[in-house]
């Protein structure tokens, strides 16, 4: 895949949440064959961000209650979508929804997402490789729409919410207006 196939963007903090430790979050996404690659790059005072150490690298619920990076994927014209949560512990979650916040079930994946993390004093990176082959609602779609997000926990336990776009009101990563990236299927 050439660099021209990559889509770069930045996440913005929800206006009602503190973001003291984070100066910004950039994301690169790429779609190749039936694989989605998401590279999240959090910049700031990483010592003030609660980032748990390596875990078991297994499916787990409730990851959004702590530092977690997220991707939502929908086929163009479809009502349903998938949600992926990626934790710095290497744990992950995958859900399928039939409509906006409706019909949530665990997504059937042919293999677990591959997660890698890198950390320095001023940057934390998480790369997720998601194999989409088993996700039947995405098959044959010429364009996939993505919403990207992150929940960042500071060292005191406070949460900030980051997304491509925030609808009015409380943070809502599932909102249809957040699916602002369109990637053409190769």
The domain that contains 106 carries what CATH number? Answer: 2.60.40.1190
Q: Is 90 left (phi over 0), alpha (psi -120 to 50) or beta?
A: left
Q: Provide the pLDDT confidence category of residue 79 given band limits of 50, 70 and 90.
A: confident
Residue 6: is its pLDDT beyond 90?
no
Burial 129-159 (b: 16+ CB within 10 A, else e): bbbbeebebbeebeebbbbbbbbbbbeeeeb
Q: Please name every residue paired with 148 in a beta bridge, in sequence order, or none if there are none.
A: 71
Q: Provide the pLDDT confidence category of residue 18 given band limits of 50, 70 and 90.
A: confident
Cα→Cα distances 172→87, 151, 177, 178, Å: 19, 11, 10, 9
**Domain housing 135:** 3-184
In angstroms, the CA 160 to CA 57 distance is 24
In angstroms, the CA 27 to CA 71 distance is 11
Average pLDDT of the residues of the chain: 91
Say what the pLDDT of residue 5 is. Answer: 64
pTM over 0.75: yes
Q: Sign of the CA dihedral 38, 42, 46, 49?
A: negative
Residue 54: is its pLDDT beyond 70?
no
Say what the pLDDT of residue 131 is. Answer: 95
Total domains in the fold of the chain? 1
Residue 4: is its pLDDT beyond 50?
no
Residue 1: is its pLDDT beyond 60?
no
């Amino acid at each position: 895949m050439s660099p021209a196939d990559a889509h770069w963007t930045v996440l913005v903090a929800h206006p009602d949440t503190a973001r003291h430790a984070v100066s910004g979050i950039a994301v690169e996404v790429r779609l190749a064959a039936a694989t989605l690659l998401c590279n999240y790059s959090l910049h700031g005072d990483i010592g003030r961000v609660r980032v748990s150490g390596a875990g078991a690298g297994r499916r787990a619920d409730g990851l959004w209650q702590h530092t977690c990076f997220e991707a939502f994927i929908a086929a163009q014209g479809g009502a349903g979508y998938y949600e992926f949560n990626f934790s710095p512990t290497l744990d992950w979650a995958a859900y399928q929804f039939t409509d906006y916040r409706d019909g949530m079930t665990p997504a059937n994946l042919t293999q677990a997402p591959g997660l890698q993390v890198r950390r320095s004093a001023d940057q934390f990176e998480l790369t997720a490789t998601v194999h989409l082959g088993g996700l039947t609602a995405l098959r044959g779609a010429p364009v996939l729409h993505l919403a990207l997000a992150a929940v960042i926990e500071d060292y005191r336990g406070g949460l900030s919410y980051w997304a491509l776009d925030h609808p009015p009101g409380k943070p809502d990563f599932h909102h249809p207006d957040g699916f602002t990236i369109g990637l053409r299927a190769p």
